[in-house]
Amino acid sequence: MANGGGGGGGSSSGGGGGGGGGSSLRMSSNIHANHLSLDASSSSSSSSSSSSSSSSSSSSSSVHEPKMDALIIPVTMEVPCDSRGQRMWWAFLASSMVTFFGGLFIILLWRTLKYLWTVCCHCGGKTKEAQKINNGSSQADGTLKPVDEKEEAVAAEVGWMTSVKDWAGVMISAQTLTGRVLVVLVFALSIGALVIYFIDSSNPIESCQNFYKDFTLQIDMAFNVFFLLYFGLRFIAANDKLWFWLEVNSVVDFFTVPPVFVSVYLNRSWLGLRFLRALRLIQFSEILQFLNILKTSNSIKLVNLLSIFISTWLTAAGFIHLVENSGDPWENFQNNQALTYWECVYLLMVTMSTVGYGDVYAKTTLGRLFMVFFILGGLAMFARYVPEIAALILNRNKFGGTFNKHGGRKHIVVCGHITLESVSNFLKDFLHKDRDDVNVEIVFLHNISPNLELEALFKRHFTQVEFYQGSVLNPHDLARVKIESADACLILANKYCADPDAEDASNIMRVISIKNYHPKIRIITQMLQYHNKAHLLNIPSWNWKEGDDAICLAELKLGFIAQSCLAQGLSTMLANLFSMRSFIKIEEDTWQKYYLEGVSNEMYTEYLSSAFVGLSFPTVCELCFVKLKLLMIAIEYKSANRESRSRKRILINPGNHLKIQEGTLGFFIASDAKEVKRAFFYCKACHDDITDPKRIKKCGCKRLEDEQPSTLSPKKKQRNGGMRNSPSSSPKLMRHDPLLIPGNDQIDNMDSNVKKYDSTGMFHWCAPKEIEKVILTRSEAAMTVLSGHVVVCIFGDVSSALIGLRNLVMPLRASNFHYHELKHIVFVGSIEYLKREWETLHNFPKVSILPGTPLSRADLRAVNINLCDMCVILSANQNNIDDTSLQDKECILASLNIKSMQFDDSIGVLQANSQGFTPPGMDRSSPDNSPVHGMLRQPSITTGVNIPIITELVNDTNVQFLDQDDDDDPDTELYLTQPFACGTAFAVSVLDSLMSATYFNDNILTLIRTLVTGGATPELEALIAEENALRGGYSTPQTLANRDRCRVAQLALLDGPFADLGDGGCYGDLFCKALKTYNMLCFGIYRLRDAHLSTPSQCTKRYVITNPPYEFELVPTDLIFCLMQFDHNAGQSRASLSHSSHSSQSSSKKSSSVHSIPSTANRQNRPKSRESRDKQNATRMNRMGQEKKWFTDEPDNAYPRNIQIKPMSTHMANQINQYKSTSSLIPPIREVEDEC
């Protein structure tokens, strides 16, 4: 009776007759608005409570009527709807299905007819062509006219259709403003239609509504009219109509637009498939890109993932809401349940996340079937999209964003090779406490997020360091870090990369990108290869005069090593000077105490006080050292000539002919920046009687600086070094032309027909030589007496990257050396590798090559490694090994191999020759008083440990393997190890500090190049960039004047004019005497490691002491680092000490102790008197040759039998006699003597 009652209630309201209609009205007024259909029991109770008289009739009629309760919809008198209240969902669905399948049928039918027409036309065309051939040309001409007219009509029709299609395509595309507005408007209206669906979802699935009174229905109707018009535009513009008909957006229009028109016609609303409008959210990222809101790939990807996830989620929820509130059709819609749309959204989320609480679930068969398939796809989507969305959100917030400047502080951008090692080295030097108030923020920009260690490093310096993920090749990322307002941009290079040229190309591209974005930005970049610096000159906005600098690591590394060949240990001293080191105090009297005191010194610049105006450079230098406790080594010089007024040069120890003028910038060696300010604050009136330099501070008297506003303050100097932004502050120095100095012999040496120097006059030059002419076999090298030379042991092969040996040879061929002072250079290595380097070396004199390997002792003995002034060990294969600990294996093995070699002392006469002769400048009996460069070595070398060696290392920790007898901890920093302190090891990592030094003072890099490269200038670099080789030039007064520049030397204290100070004297007395007497500027000591011990030691290791104090006590074995002037008369004064073996050369030209055995043909051309003199010493030289043969580890047949050694004996006899005459003197400075 319950079911029957429910059915009766429904039947009475739906039955025929007027009573049924009245009952239906009464029934509909009691139905809750949130229910989608009438429940049988509620319908029955409502019917019975309304009227007792109609209860029996309703019950009787329910027996005959079928159950129609699920088909009844609520109706009212105000809405003209079906009086029976039956559902018409099928009408709405049918409109969509008919539209979709009808259009699909029409498209397929059109394509079929078009295909058949094409086939028929193709066959008919062939028949007509055959008829034309058979009927002749006259008939063919008559039949062509109607065909042409048809083709013109078709062409006109096609042209019209194409124009309409193009117009429609422009309207819907985002390439024009109209298209973008239309696309954005369609998306916005789609979201509006979806919002209307959310509002209507609270109503029953189907209900009667009056279009003229329902505001939401009117708005929805207007939206869908617009969608219909837009659909037409898309259809016209589509190239493939079939695929367009099957697109997602088209399907959405099919199932949302036609039902709206049906609802107006039927005065009823059906939610139906309107939820498909949520699929339009997939295009959200495209809309944001059209509006230029999304610019990065991460943001686009994030919005794509979110839009796909949300649209799928909302669409599936709409389907569940439809089927659960409607019920299954085959169950007569009786198994429905009342669920709101947002409950369905909740159900889908807990289903995708596999939680499934069970409080809400699907009851209908359609709903459960849909959930089965949705779990498979939704779970996969949830598991993939949600973690990726979370990762994008977290990463984007961590290293994204935009840099914001704080309180007017400057900031720099650092990019390139950003790793834990490079960043830690950079920050350690840049933020060093010795720098005066570093108020600069550092912004790192890199395309890879930092690892945990690097991120921790950034957090430790969070007050001054920020990291942003991005690329300098992307203008958007450059805008994020405010590159246009940055003070400078620093680019770090990967020193350990396998392909240096590729790394340089990457950095050059970074420079191009940054300069293209902001041409005025100052850039300091690291370069690995010297020849790649030329590419920077191709960038129009690259201007070294405005502060742009390229720090070439290969150029400086090999330059440092080359200077060590001239003064051993200089590479260590220079590396420590340009690095910021903290002072480490040691109480014990050990060599580390004095070494670390020198390590704490750095290079600074400061403007000189007006008290120094009018004084000569040596006078100012002595005053600074004695009174201010400062060591000034150079000044900035601006030429007084009009032609070169804009050029500024760094003059190192220029001499006493130069007078200091107002605003002169000085280069000082001091322990911190505060000490250097004494040179700026010094006042003769106020500070003349002060003995404590710490009391020298700014005085209150009237100073000349008040009258010169162009002079920079010390704080501003610390940033730009006084070079940029202050053109009026340059010194105006009065300098005498060297050509006008009395006694100058430069004009006498000028020969317009001989090219001795390159076109700039900075380097010795010779005509290009073929490599075959400089190659020595082992036998030829063994019969060539080499001494005082430089042996370069190099590892490399055909596939190795070039290291640029030209940068090693150029400082050794500087023109401020006389030709006879040049040390001969012998390369020992693979001939295949050296052939690749030879193109840049063939213009340098005194260069030889011994094909072989540095690990062969026979090759090393053949080049007299025990008689060399320096042995350099290099490797071009270091970066080709993944294991960092093995990168230096070749150099370490070669170094240990040389140190383990033993040599016999029986050839003392040859050793005497290698010791050199007492230079005229240091000999009290010599009429020539000019000091000459030299190095002192032990009287004889019997073991390889005493051979001067400098080894290049890539990995700093490998320095522990060079000396087996030291006690260095493996974790000790490189500068604290014994091999580095002794100058026997050099690592490229010490050059990292040059980035910071160059930023704070752009003159520092110029000073380093002047000291290290032997005179390389920007003009010379531009010339090498054009020709990749030095160009020879004739000697002119201008080029010869370039020889008059300072050079580094080592001064011995065993004998000579300074011998009285060597035994217990003060370093300050030596400094003043050398400066006043010879214009030599002393700046360090190279002392024996065990010199402080009271007992004698056999150890010959030395260490570097930088800028010792005035009262520092000297010992006789000390070697003094000094900057000495060029001696114009040294070449002529030495002419009597050598005998030329070439008639075409003058007697003043000598090589670096290379004595070659001439051929027999040359011997026959000499006078007989000389042959007779040669015979007197033939026996002695033969015996010496046999002794040398024993040391070369070669078989007896390795020596050619027909070589005549008589010419050699004459030369050796002369050398022996000369040695005997001076045997009582110990040469204070070693001089290289030989004939060319």
Take residue 509 and report the two structure tokens written for it. 């591209």
pLDDT reported for residue 135: 60
The radius of gyration computed from the CA coordinates of the chain, to the nearest angstrom, equals 47
| Burial of residue 835 (number of CB atoms within 10 Å: 0-12, 13-18, 19+) | middle
pLDDT reported for residue 553: 92
pLDDT reported for residue 825: 95
Q: Picking from 4-8, 537-541, 599-603, which range would have the lowest pLDDT averaged per residue?
A: 4-8
631-638/648-652 β-pairing? antiparallel
Q: Name 359's Cβ contacts closer than 8 Å, sequence gap at least 6.
A: none
Rounded to a whole number of angstroms, the distance between the first and last alpha carbons of the chain is 133
Q: Picking from 136-140, 535-539, 982-986, which range would have the lowest pLDDT averaged per residue?
A: 136-140
Question: Average pLDDT for residues 1125-1145, to the nearest whole number?
Answer: 47
pLDDT band at residue 1029 using 50, 70 and 90 as cut-offs: confident
> Contact at 8 Å (CB) between 648 and 636?
yes
Q: Is the pLDDT of residue 45 over 90?
A: no
Find the angle CA(559)-CA(563)-CA(569) to the nearest 5 degrees.
120
> Contact at 8 Å (CB) between 1209 and 1174?
yes
Question: Average pLDDT for residues 941-959, to the nearest whole number?
Answer: 89
> Contact at 8 Å (CB) between 521 and 478?
no
Q: Picking from 564-578, 645-659, 841-855, 925-939, which range would have the lowest pLDDT averaged per residue?
A: 925-939
pLDDT band at residue 610 using 50, 70 and 90 as cut-offs: confident
Rounded distance between C-alpha atoms, residue 299 and residue 314, angstroms? 22
Rounded distance between C-alpha atoms, residue 627 and residue 1086, angstroms? 25
pLDDT reported for residue 5: 35
- 1082 forms bridges with which residues in the sheet? 1122
Q: Picking from 130-139, 524-533, 908-917, 1056-1065, which range would have the lowest pLDDT averaged per residue?
A: 908-917
pLDDT reported for residue 657: 84
pLDDT band at residue 1095 using 50, 70 and 90 as cut-offs: low
Domain locations along the chain: 2-86, 90-293, 294-399, 403-542, 1145-1221
160-192: pLDDT as tens digits: 677 777 777 777 777 778 888 888 888 899 999
Alpha carbon distances (Å) from 153 to 116, 128, 145, 209 = 21, 20, 12, 52
Better-predicted residue by pLDDT, 626 or 1231: 626
Rounded distance between C-alpha atoms, residue 747 and residue 395, angstroms? 71
Q: Is the pLDDT of residue 1231 over 90?
A: no
Alpha carbon distances (Å) from 243 to 108, 235, 342 = 11, 10, 34
pLDDT reported for residue 571: 93
> Contact at 8 Å (CB) between 788 and 1153?
yes
Query: Which of 840, 771, 768, 773 lies closest to 809, judged by CA?
Result: 840
Query: Which of 342, 346, 326 lies closest to 334, judged by CA?
Result: 326
> Contact at 8 Å (CB) between 879 and 496?
yes
Helix, strand, or coil (residue 79): coil
Rounded distance between C-alpha atoms, residue 584 and residue 595, angstroms? 10
pLDDT reported for residue 153: 54
- The b/e string for 220-238 (b: 16+ C-beta within 10 A; e otherwise) is beebbebbeebbebbebbb
549-552/602-607 β-pairing? unpaired
Phi-psi region of 407 (alpha: psi -120 to 50; beta: other; left: phi over 0): left
Query: Which of 295, 302, 340, 306 lies closest to 321, judged by CA?
Result: 340
Question: Average pLDDT for residues 491-516, to the nearest whole number?
Answer: 93
**Topology (CATH level 3) of domain 294-399:** Helix Hairpins (1.10.287)
Is 1.20.120.1780 the CATH classification of the domain at 403-542? no
pLDDT reported for residue 40: 36
Beta strands in 907-976 (DSSP E): 949-953
* DSSP state string for 289-300: HHTT---SHHHH
Q: Picking from 597-606, 612-621, 682-691, 1075-1084, which range would have the lowest pLDDT averaged per residue?
A: 682-691
Alpha carbon distances (Å) from 801 to 387, 704, 797 = 45, 56, 9
Place of tokens 């300072």: 1046
Take residue 276 and report the two structure tokens written for it. 């498909």
Question: Average pLDDT for residues 514-525, to the nearest whole number?
Answer: 94
Place of tokens 């970074």: 510
Q: Is the pLDDT of residue 46 over 60?
A: no
Using the 8-state DSSP alphabet, how is residue 1156 labeled? -
Q: Is the dihedral of CA 1038, 1040, 1041, 1043 positive or negative?
A: positive
Q: Is the pLDDT of residue 142 over 60?
A: no
51-67: pLDDT as tens digits: 333 333 333 333 333 34
pLDDT band at residue 968 using 50, 70 and 90 as cut-offs: low
pLDDT band at residue 942 using 50, 70 and 90 as cut-offs: confident
- 1033 forms bridges with which residues in the sheet? 757
Rounded distance between C-alpha atoms, residue 253 and residue 233, angstroms? 13
Q: Is the pLDDT of residue 751 over 60?
A: no
Q: Name 215's Cβ contacts closer than 8 Å, sequence gap at least 6.
A: none
- Across all residues in the chain, what is the average pLDDT? 75
Q: Picking from 224-233, 645-654, 944-953, which range would have the lowest pLDDT averaged per residue?
A: 645-654
pLDDT reported for residue 810: 93
Helix, strand, or coil (residue 1115): coil
**E strand or H helix at 1173, and its extent?**
helix 1168-1176
Q: Name 348's Cβ contacts closer than 8 Å, sequence gap at least 6.
A: 313, 316, 317, 320, 374, 378
Rounded distance between C-alpha atoms, residue 1015 and residue 1032, angstroms? 16
Take residue 777 and report the two structure tokens written for it. 């076999």
- 98 forms bridges with which residues in the sheet? none
638-659: pLDDT as tens digits: 766 554 445 677 889 988 888 8
pLDDT band at residue 38 using 50, 70 and 90 as cut-offs: very low
Using the 8-state DSSP alphabet, how is residue 442 labeled? E
757-758/1119-1124 β-pairing? unpaired
Q: Picking from 25-29, 183-187, 198-202, 317-321, which range would have the lowest pLDDT averaged per residue?
A: 25-29
**Helix ranges (DSSP H) in 400-471:** 420-430, 452-460
Take residue 1122 and report the two structure tokens written for it. 């000094």
* 3-state class percentages of the chain: helix first, strand second, coil last, to nearest 5: 50, 10, 40
Take residue 817 and report the two structure tokens written for it. 């050396």
pLDDT reported for residue 171: 77
Q: Name 565's Cβ contacts closer than 8 Å, sequence gap at least 6.
A: 790, 812, 823, 869, 870, 872, 950
> Contact at 8 Å (CB) between 485 and 443?
no
Helix, strand, or coil (residue 1155): strand
pLDDT band at residue 134 using 50, 70 and 90 as cut-offs: low
Instruction: Phi first, then psi: give them for residue 856, nearest 5 degrees.
Output: -90, 120
Take residue 842 and report the two structure tokens written for it. 């063939």
| Burial of residue 958 (number of CB atoms within 10 Å: 0-12, 13-18, 19+) | buried
542-589: pLDDT as tens digits: 988 888 999 999 999 999 999 999 999 999 999 999 888 877 777 777
Q: Is the pLDDT of residue 526 over 50?
A: yes
pLDDT reported for residue 984: 92
Q: Picking from 285-289, 627-631, 637-641, which range would have the lowest pLDDT averaged per residue?
A: 637-641
pLDDT reported for residue 738: 37
11-28: pLDDT as tens digits: 333 333 333 333 333 333
Alpha carbon distances (Å) from 77 to 25, 29, 598, 799 = 8, 10, 106, 96
